[in-house]
Amino acid sequence: MDITVSIDDQMFQKAYLFAKSVNKTVEQLIYEYFKQFESEADKEISEFRRLTAEGQGRSKGWRFDREEIYAGSQLS
């Protein structure tokens, strides 16, 4: 998939000079950034799933009961 990114000339020039200094292209830098983002997002999603799995976390299996919470918040 190809994408188009719009940046001003000054930003592109800085990116170009940095990429050149590390023997890469601007496109390679952008690709590597997105790969890093993808990897971090995958880790966060895995951790979220692990923590919210059945019986995990501090809830020790407790499930939210809307009616119970609502009844407890009613004024007498």
Which bin fits 26, alpha (ψ -120 to 50), beta or left (φ > 0)?
Answer: alpha
Rounded Cα distance between 4 and 23, Å, is: 22
Dig out the tokens for 73 from the structure. Answer: 């918040």
Q: What is the pLDDT of residues 23-73, one digit of tens each?
A: 999 999 999 998 998 888 888 888 888 877 755 556 667 777 888 878 776
Confidence check: pLDDT of 4 > 80: yes
Angle at 57 between CA 51 and CA 58, to 5 degrees: 155
Domain boundaries, the chain: 20-50
How far apart (Å, rounded) are the C-alpha atoms in residues 23 and 20? 5
Distance, in Å, from the CA atom of 28 to the CA atom of 36, rounded to the nearest integer, reads 12
